[in-house]
Structures are given as C-alpha cells and as structure tokens.
Structure 1
Amino acid sequence: MNDHYLKKLDRVTAILTQLQSKPIVRAQDLAQKFEVSVRTIYRDVKTLENAGIPIVGEAGSGYSLMDGYKLPPVMFTKEEVLSFITAEKLMQKFLHQSLGNHYQTAMEKVRSVLKYSDRNLIQNIENQIDIFNYQPKTEDTIKNIIPTILESIAEKRQLIMEYKTVDSKISTRTIEVVGVFFEFNYWYIMAYCILRNDFRQFRVDRILQISKTQNPFLQEYGQINDYRKNSNGNKTKVRLLVDKKIINHLVNSKKYYGLTEEIETENGIEMTFETEWIDEGFPRWLITFADFAKVLEPESLTVKLKDLLIKISGKHQ
C-alpha cells in the first residue's frame, strides 16, 4: 500500500471520528483541518458511504451520522493515551470542583476501552507526571454550579442568582449567560445582567444561590471572547512609560489590565491601556512595579497612586 492510500485511510478514519463526536460536520471545515480540497472530502465521504456507514446530509449543508447508528468502541493510539494522562493531571489541578466527579467518570469510561497494554502504560507513567499549582482552589457553596450554568447556556434559559460583590454586598440578579472562562485561578461567567441592562462578568465562587428559570433568553449571543474584548463598561485610557528590564515580568498580567498598544522608545516601553479599574484594581497593580514606571496619562492616576502609597505608609509606621 503506497503513501497516498495510507494518508487517505488515516483521513477517512479521522473523518469518521469527527462524525461520531459532532452533530454536524461541514466539508469546508474538514478540508481546512486536513489541509486538502473540499472535493477530496466529498470523495472521502463517498468512501465511507460505500463502506456502509449511514451518513445523512449532502455537500454544502454538512454531514452527520444517521440517528441511532452505533459504531464499535473507539481505539486510541499510544500517543493519544499519553495525552489523556497529561490532560487528566491538568484537570485535577485546574478543573472546577463541580465538574470533577463528571470528569472522573468520563475518564473511567475512556480507560475501560483501552487495550490491556495501554492500561499498563498508564499505570507506569501517570505517577511520573505532575502539575505544580501554588494557588489554593476556591471553595463553592453550591454543588454542580458549573453544570447548571452550562445547561442554561445550552437551553438558552435565564438564571436567577444571589451574588456577593467584592465589598460583601449581596444582590439578586437575573442573568443570561454568554459563557464561562478561567482566569488568574478563578472561574468567571460572562453574562447579560437584566438589572444593569448590560454585560457583566461574575466570579463563580461569589455566587451564593443559583437556579434555572423557564424564561428564555431575550436575545441571541455570539462567542464569549467577543464580549470580553468589547466590554461596554466605562473605560479610561492609561499611558505608562515602563523600564525595559521589567517588561518580561508583566507578560501574564498586562493584557488582563487592558493593554492595547506597546511601543519601544529610547526611554523605555510606552504602554497604552483601556481599563475599567482605574479607581482600585489598576493603581494596586501599578504599585507593584511603580519604581520602574512613569504615568504619562491621566494625571488622576498619579494622584490615586500617591494616595495609595501614603495609605500604605501610614499603616507601616
């Protein structure tokens, strides 16, 4: 068997896997994934149909497996098994606790279809991989909170929740969740808040109660990153001149605080931000490297920084 047919066999097998894992698969997406022409994908789908696989759909609209059709258990390569082990270690450290039991059950099902030799591979290697995370996990007061939130997104149903803000004020909110994301060791939801008539993000560990309603979403939403990039909150433009020697220490935080532009000059790196946290969050972050930075604008940030330094100094006299 020549190389051409081997590549086709691998590709056809991979297309079958895609059909098993997704409700609809478009030929254009498959062509992009496997770096072949759309016409080649059409021929591959025809090969599967000729082999007796009941594929529903047609070119241009997308393909799916006939409802109720069952395939034999999927077999995994050695490389795929090793990737599962590594992913499981990551999940143990960073997965939200409300998803933990579900993930563990899913992994047990994956292990159950492995060949005996692959099970031995897991046993021999899993204790040789570890992920070191120095941040403590947050504790939630609600069981299965993330699954509840994800169900509301899938069903397009509003949620009612009691939420505790950073200053310990408690309010009741009706929200339509756009998505869930993990950042700086916390889980957040991005949602449209009916009370504020605007998009807001909420930290999951500050939700005290939550329940699904029968009320449908009032509008359609795009992808979560669209709303994180284009938040409707009031933003302030900030320009800093930062010493080049500490730039590498800001790699993980500068984008979080709204970095929009970075220009290298003779005197340092000029950084421009658009931030919603000009009163508290941004000044407190800036103070961690203030001896290597100069505020170019706004002047009010310089005042806030000085006030914060005086406050800190007064507590440690």
Structure 2
Amino acid sequence: MAAIDDEIHDDSPKKFDRVVAILTQLQSKRIVKAQELADRFGVSLRTIYRDIKTLENSGVPISSEAGVGYSIVEGYKLPPVMFTREEAVSFVAAEKLMEHFTDRSLGNAFQSAMFKVKSVLRWTDKDRINELNANIHVSPKKNLFNKEVPNALEILMNGIVNKKQVYIRYQSFDASQPSERNIEPIGLYHDKEYWYLVAYCHLRREHRNFRSDRIIKITGLDADFTLQHKELSAYLQKPQFDTYEVVRIMMDNNYVKYVQHSRQQYGFISEKKLGSKTEMTFHFPHEPEYFLRWFIVLADKSDIIEPESLKQRLKELTQNIDKRIKSM
C-alpha cells in the first residue's frame, strides 16, 4: 500500500518530465490514446490517468472520450516549447536528410519550419547547430526526383491526406513513350535509394508502384477517390508465389560482399560457406533471364549449380558476347 501511495503523491522530477512530455505529445496530433502514452513512457494506464488529471488540475483544457483518447481543446495557447541539447542537435541530421531526400517544394517548407524551431533555441544550442551544420554532408547517389516536377511529393501528400486523385505523366522503365494516368495515391515509401508511390491506377485498373524520378509531370485534381483503399502496409507485404525457379550458385567468398544488397531483389533465400566459396540459394519468381543478367557481372568469380537450363543460357549469352567483341 505504501508503494501505491508513493506513486499517487509522486512529485519527483521524473514525473514532472513525463507530464511535460505528455503535454507536448497532446499538441502533436488531434487524438492521443492512453495506451499509446503508457507504451511510450513505460508506465501503467493508471499512472497516465493520474498524469492527465495533473494537467487538468493545472488548467490545461483536455477533453476525453472513452475508447477514443485525449485531445487539447482547439485554440488553447501553450507556452513556447523548450528543447533538450540532444533534441536540438538531432535537427541537423533531419535538416540534411530533408534537403537531399525530398523534392524542392517539401524541402523549402521544411526549411521554413526549421527557422521557426531554431528561433526558440538557446544561443548556445544555435551556435552548436551552426557548427555541426558546416561539418555534416549528405550526398545521395541517385536523382530522387525529376527536376521538372519540383513539387511532386507535396502534391502526392495532399492527394493522400485529402483523398483526391492526381494526374501524372509517367515514363515506365520498359515503355518507349510516357503514359498519362489518373491515380489515387495511397502512400509513399523509400526503398533502395528511391522514393516509390503506391497508388490505384485508373489506366491499368489495378494498384501499381510508381518510382518518383520517373514522374515527368504531375497535377493535383479535384476528383475524389472512387475506391476505399487499405493502409500502405497492406500493399508492402511481399507476394507469395505459387511457382518459382530454384537457383543455386557458388561464389568466391571475397566477392560475396559486392552482391549482399542487390541479391535481395532476385529472391535470395540463404547462403552457406563451403571453404573458400559461398553457396547461395534463390527462389526467383520471374523470368530467369533477369537473374542471369544480374549474375553475369561476377560470372568470372561464380558458378551456376542449378538449374541446368540456366547454365546453357549462360553459355549462349557469353558466346554472343564473344562474337560481338570479335566483330568490333
């Protein structure tokens, strides 16, 4: 009973920090669930209820609804937010990443927001951020966006939030000419150095993935979504294939490091070290020809164990390469 009484009347700095952090989180979005707060701070729901009561007793107008969550009454003005030194330093990394991994429009908006954030920092933290900013450099390997569409992410995000269709002119990898499509944007994700959009395509009448740098024109439309879509995570689940080609190769150990990232795109399953070589197994659901074009980069340091048909195709391909070289 004493332990419970101590928790109820806890006026420790730890509780104070937690209550302030809860207040900040309540400002971050419209509704915050009690379980969400309990999970973040590693405390019980009863402790969260008491912390919310503490805020209410201090004059913060919090509304609550059973089974929904808590929210601060709209229009309530709070004092300026104070950042810790670690939080202030983290802004540098965020700013550098936003500068290079978003399009121009969204990057400018973030920069404007950062000016507002920096305006409330202490002078010592401002100086520290400026020093770090001059000594951190981010250089992406790829052009993530078409320079002709500097506001692509902004338009797509508006479409996602407002459930509005978007028009795009898109250059597919395997098409000779770009196509025009009306799409319903569902979500964005960054993978293998590119931004991708998951959307329902009215032209193809199915859900498709679009790479951001291949969008050469984009316009937001007034038309609403015609379908009810799932959350993004549902479309990112790896598909299960009923049939696939089992491919096994043997590669010199010293060269495995060069394919550790790219092999995931070709159905890599497992590897096994056998002396100076590594055996790798793949389940490849597409045409084996694609796998072969990837494999040939290190074919002088690797061998195909199976299937036999892929070995024969490799021989044909290398013979064709040899003929072309001799004819030069």
User: Structures share a fold, TM > 0.5?
Assistant: yes
Q: 1:158 aligns with which of 143, 147, 165?
A: 165
Query: Is residue 2:155 matched to residue 1:148?
Result: yes
Q: How does 1:1-317 map to 2 (within 5 A)?
A: 5-136=12-143, 138-166=145-173, 167-213=175-221, 214-223=223-232, 225-231=233-239, 236-243=244-251, 245=253, 246-259=255-268, 261-264=269-272, 266=274, 268-276=278-286, 278-280=288-290, 282-295=291-304, 301-302=310-311, 305-317=314-326
Task: Point out the structure with max Rg over C-alpha.
Answer: 2
Whole-Å separation in 1 of the counterparts to 2:187 and 2:322: 41
Contact 1:238 1:297 (C-alpha < 8 Å) held by counterparts? yes
Distance 1:16-1:138 versus aligned 2 partners, 3 A rule:
same
Contact 2:248 2:307 (C-alpha < 8 Å) held by counterparts? no
Contact 1:55 1:66 (C-alpha < 8 Å) held by counterparts? yes
Whole-Å separation in 1 of the counterparts to 2:16 and 2:71: 19
Whole-Å separation in 2 of the counterparts to 1:197 and 1:301: 35
How many residues are paired up?
313
Whole-Å separation in 2 of the counterparts to 1:244 and 1:174: 48
Shift of 1:135: 4.1
Shift of 1:40: 1.5
Whole-Å separation in 2 of the counterparts to 1:283 and 1:4: 67
Whole-Å separation in 1 of the counterparts to 2:199 and 2:134: 40
Distance 1:286-1:3 versus aligned 2 partners, 3 A rule:
farther
Contact 1:153 1:178 (C-alpha < 8 Å) held by counterparts? yes
Distance 1:25-1:123 versus aligned 2 partners, 3 A rule:
same
Distance 1:234-1:195 versus aligned 2 partners, 3 A rule:
farther
User: Which sections of structure 2, spanning at least 5 residues, go unmatched?
Assistant: 1-8
What secondary structure sits across from 1:28 in the alignment?
Answer: helix
Contact 2:288 2:310 (C-alpha < 8 Å) held by counterparts? yes
Query: Bigger shift: 182-191 or 99-108?
Result: 182-191
Identity of aligned residues (%): 41
Shift of 1:83: 0.8
Contact 1:199 1:231 (C-alpha < 8 Å) held by counterparts? no
Give the letter for the 1:191 counterpart. Answer: A
Give the letter for the 1:172 counterpart. Answer: E
User: Which sections of structure 1, spanning at least 5 residues, go unmatched?
Assistant: none
User: CA offsets, 1:265-308, max 9 Å, x none?
Assistant: 6473332234446444x333222233444445555544554454
What secondary structure sits across from 2:50 in the alignment?
Answer: helix
Cα RMSD (Å): 2.9
